[in-house]
Amino acid sequence: MPEATIGVIGGSGLYAMAGLTDVEHVTLETPFGAPSDAYVIGTIAGRRVAFLPRHGVGHRFSPSEVPSRANIHGFKQLGVQYLVSISAVGSLREEYAPGHVVVPDQLYDRTKSLRPATFFDEGLVVHVAFDKPLDRTLADLIEQAAHAAGATCHRGGTLVVIEGPQFSTLAESQENRRAGFSLIGMTALPEAKLAREAEIAYATLALVTDYDCWHPDHDAVTVDSVIQVLRSNAALAQEIVRQVVPLIGDGFDSPSHHALASAIITDRAAIAPAKRKQVALLVEKYL
């Protein structure tokens, strides 16, 4: 099977980057079903990188339908250790303007339990630490790459994740601002939780497309307005990816790479063989 240590998950354009060489399309099956689409593996700066469109080519999956367990497991099958998430977000802060990019440091979950959020169920209980949901070192490298690419880049803040697919009501947007959140999106969770369980270092490059609906000088969010900003930022996002790959280089040791070492609470003898087989790629070294 082809291998890549660096992964990128995001939207249209990131799997068709100019300058990507030695391209392979890899269709995977996982114990958690099929991923969103085929993985596109290519070479950037001498490194093999695996790309996956989160919503599938043609944007077929709503945020609640994205098969995040299969997507993350597929990256693990390919050998990915560092995963850069590209996400379109709304801004809840005046200074984070449409067209800017943000590297957040925290997540807040306001999804509604419609999305499977763990690999570990059915008789296997695992509690991973998640106080720092985004890998600090990887976030540092993404920020460095964004500046090198010429982006207006901000660092820090909390990305609140809602269920969608509807955009926020005005009351919800105002309450999220009162809570001190900086950004709002629909896809970083459970993706980040699953990456932690898969012992993959994960961080987010957030592309600001709008001001949600709180801003008195801006219209309500529409798909057309979001797509317009995304199209204008596609080349910038691709350049940030090109810049971050050589910065990751041979990689670094992340706390995420050892997340399961002390997280499995179930008695090993009590784990059903079928469950053990399903998650063998993730936990076998600890069993």
Q: What is the pLDDT of residues 50-60, one digit of tens each?
A: 999 999 998 89
Residue 75: the pLDDT is 98
* Angle, vertex CA 154, rays to CA 152 and CA 157, nearest 5: 155
187 annotated as a binding-site residue: yes
C-alpha 172/C-alpha 174 separation (Å) is 5
Weakest mean pLDDT among 16-20, 91-95, 118-122: 16-20
Residue 220: the pLDDT is 74
pLDDT at 26 over 90: yes
Secondary structure (3-state) at 196: helix
Weakest mean pLDDT among 29-38, 102-111, 191-200, 208-217: 208-217
pLDDT band (50, 70, 90) for residue 14 = low
93 annotated as a binding-site residue: no
C-alpha 78/C-alpha 81 separation (Å) is 9
User: Counting Cβ atoms within 10 Å, is residue 191 exposed (0-12), middle (13-18) or buried (19+)?
Assistant: buried
12 annotated as a binding-site residue: yes
**Percent of the chain clearing pLDDT 90 (strictly above):** 87
21 annotated as a binding-site residue: no
| Residue type, position 72, single letter | I
Domains of the chain: 6-286 (3.40.50.1580)
> What number is the average pLDDT over the span 104-108?
98
CA dihedral of 13, 19, 21, 25, whole degrees rounded to 10:
10
Contact criterion met (CB below 8 Å) for 53 and 234: no
pLDDT at 237 over 60: yes
C-alpha 259/C-alpha 263 separation (Å) is 7
pLDDT at 3 over 70: yes
239 closest CA partner among 19, 4, 9: 19
Token duo for residue 264: 């499995």
127 annotated as a binding-site residue: no
- Give tens-digit pLDDT for 77-89: 999 999 999 999 9
> What number is the average pLDDT over the span 167-185?
97
pLDDT at 144 over 70: yes
1 annotated as a binding-site residue: no
pTM more than 0.85 = yes
Contact criterion met (CB below 8 Å) for 154 and 148: no
Token duo for residue 69: 């367990």
Helix boundaries (H) for 121-262: 136-148, 170-178, 188-197, 223-248
> What number is the average pLDDT over the span 225-254?
89
Q: 190: cis peptide before it, omega within 30°?
A: yes
Residue 113: the pLDDT is 87
Residue carrying structure tokens 């250790």 = 81
Mean confidence (pLDDT) of the chain: 94
Residue 230: the pLDDT is 74
Residue 1: the pLDDT is 78
Residue 106: the pLDDT is 98
Residue 15: the pLDDT is 60
Percentages of the chain per state (helix, strand, coil), in multiples of 5:
30, 25, 45
pLDDT at 12 over 70: no
Longest CA–CA span in the chain (Å) reads 61
| DSSP bridge pairs for 106 | 158
Contact criterion met (CB below 8 Å) for 160 and 176: yes
211 annotated as a binding-site residue: yes
82 closest CA partner among 115, 58, 48: 48
Weakest mean pLDDT among 21-25, 170-174, 191-195, 225-229: 225-229
> What number is the average pLDDT over the span 221-230?
73
Residue 238: the pLDDT is 92
- Find all residues with CB under 8 Å of 253, minimum gap 6, and list them: none
- Give tens-digit pLDDT for 112-134: 989 999 999 999 999 999 999 99
Count CB neighbours of 94 within 10 A: 10
Q: Which residues are catalytic?
A: 210, 212
Secondary structure (3-state) at 129: coil
pLDDT band (50, 70, 90) for residue 16 = low
> What number is the average pLDDT over the span 56-78?
96
